[in-house]
Structure 1
Amino acid sequence: MSGSETGPGPAAGPGSGVRLVVVHPDKEVLAQAAAARLLTRILDVQSVRSPVHVVLTGGTVGIASLAAVAASPLVPAVDWSGVHLWWGDERFLPDGDPDRNETQARQALLDDLVVNHGLPAANVHPMPGPTSVATPEEGAAVYAAQLAEHAPAGAATPVPAFDVLLLGMGPDGHVASLFPGHDGLAAQGTTAGVHGSPKPPPERVSLTFDAIRSAREVWIVAAGAEKAGQVAAALAGEPVTKVPAAGAVGQARTLWLLDAEAAGAKK
């Protein structure tokens, strides 16, 4: 993996572990490196326990990373029958809509894993949309129940023991569908229905900060000069109400995976 690292250092936030910032020269290398890192992490976890729970993200770099996973020679080394895949948020759109994170992820990687590499279809856990539920709140409740079914006994937060939780970050500093100054930032429980999103479409379903912060590792993947200001603000510990990404921290480790532009490197 090509890139420069800074850290380790403490990550801001409750229950946070070590924070590491890894800078790659461009978004293409970032996607390739994130894919290699994810596959290696899954293999490392599978050497000591099963199942592995991974939370996926959408966005340009997130989907490019999944496509890079699909092309990796490491794919057959993973026991995909022991991997469960979840999402951090989803647009409240019908099944199969091209703007759904799930649809894009299936096209980039998941359909191939199911058909050719033994990933059980039941291990793919998409967030419900209007095909099956009437409102984002109902979708959030259904997803919360699914998460709870896979939570360890006695877990403080009723979600699976997420080994890796991937997040993109928007130019406004949002992660999942948790936007600056939005009511969803204070949502209780593990999931929330979102209305009035400043980024279309207005209706969404999202994990809450409680769910995100329960993950063993949180990886924030960001590329582009338009994100540099919010990356710097989040790393400086700006309030979550202004920069939601500042509140996305893992129990053991928080990784910021950046390209040079998002890291604010001078050309």
Structure 2
Amino acid sequence: MPETVNHLVIHAFPDAQAAAWALAEALESSVRRVLATEPRAWLVLPGGSTPRGLFACLFARPLPWADIIVTVTDERQVPSDDPASNLGQIARSRRGLAAAAAALHPLEPLAADPSELPGRFAAVVLGLGEDGHVASLFPGQPWETPDGGGLVRARAPVEPRTRLSLSLSRLQATGALFLLAGGAAKRALLEAPPADTPLAALNAGAGPGLDVYWFP
């Protein structure tokens, strides 16, 4: 049974594979719910090493991928074929699968024209850093743009440092908000996030409820 901690609903799984399969199933349900009434559904996915198993599970599911637009929570400012590119990682993960029919939308054009962003995403999946950052929204840096454009330029503490991220409010503009995390340190962070972190803002209950898929 999931456990509610403050405003988080934490689903605990025995390992990363079990968490990935369960989250892929939840994402399929979220996308199908939107496609029942809308012609297209936007799916927002994270980068990094943790979601690799999720991509394998998700991209194998029999979704109507041609009706889905995939973008990323944040992007490192590198070429798309660079191993550090989040969108590039997604593109490589879906090769040879039906999911290759989904449109991939890089963030940079959305920064130039935020009107291309939908009013609401079908689902957003976040990762979590041990400093409490989500996407490329870091403690001590802006999480929103002054003009409300929806994308934030950030400076990461590690290379590649130059990043582009959906803002906190844009990440919360979704029908379903998920977070995938593993390990005891991140579990402790989820239960007591420092007040100056984006995670704490999510934990405070702003926007949709946050469903956490956690594994040891």
With normalisation by structure 1, the TM-score equals 0.71
Give 1:54-203 correspondences, 5 Å limit.
54-71=43-60, 74-75=61-62, 78-109=63-94, 111-113=95-97, 116=98, 119-120=101-102, 123-128=103-108, 142-151=109-118, 160-181=119-140, 183-188=141-146, 189=148, 190-195=150-155, 197-203=156-162
- The answer to whether residue 195 in structure 2 is matched with residue 228 in structure 1 is no
AA in 2 matched with 1:51: R
**5+ unaligned residues in a row in structure 1: which ranges?**
12-18, 129-141, 152-159, 262-267
Partner of residue 265, structure 1: none
State the alpha-carbon separation in 2 of the partners of residues 202 and 117 from structure 1.
30
> How big is each residue's C-alpha offset from its partner over 1:66-100, in whole Å with a ceiling of 9 and x where there is no partner?
111233xx32xx22222111111011111200111
SS at match of 1:194: strand
For structure 2, which runs of at least 5 residues remain unmatched after alignment?
A: none
SS in structure 1 of the partner of residue 143 of structure 2: helix
Cα distance in 2 between the residues matched to 1:48 and 1:173: 35
Backbone CA RMSD of aligned residues:
2.3
SS at match of 1:184: coil
The letter of the residue matching 1:184 is P
Structure of greater Rg:
1
Match of 1:245 in 2: 199
Which 4+ runs in 1 deviate beyond 4 A? none
Change beyond 3 A, Cα 1:214–1:98: same
Aligned to 1:15: none
Superposition deviation, residue 258 in structure 1: 0.9
Give the % identical residues. 26
* Aligned partners of 1:34 and 1:65 also within 8 Å: yes
| Cα displacement string for residues 142-175 of structure 1 (whole angstroms, at most 9, x for unaligned residues) | 3234541243xxxxxxxx4112111000111110
Matched residues in 2 for 1:40 and 1:228: separation? 26
Counterpart of 2:88 in structure 1: which amino acid? T
Deviations 1:85-138 (A, max 9, x none): 1111011111200111111111112x345xx45725xx210223xxxxxxxxxx
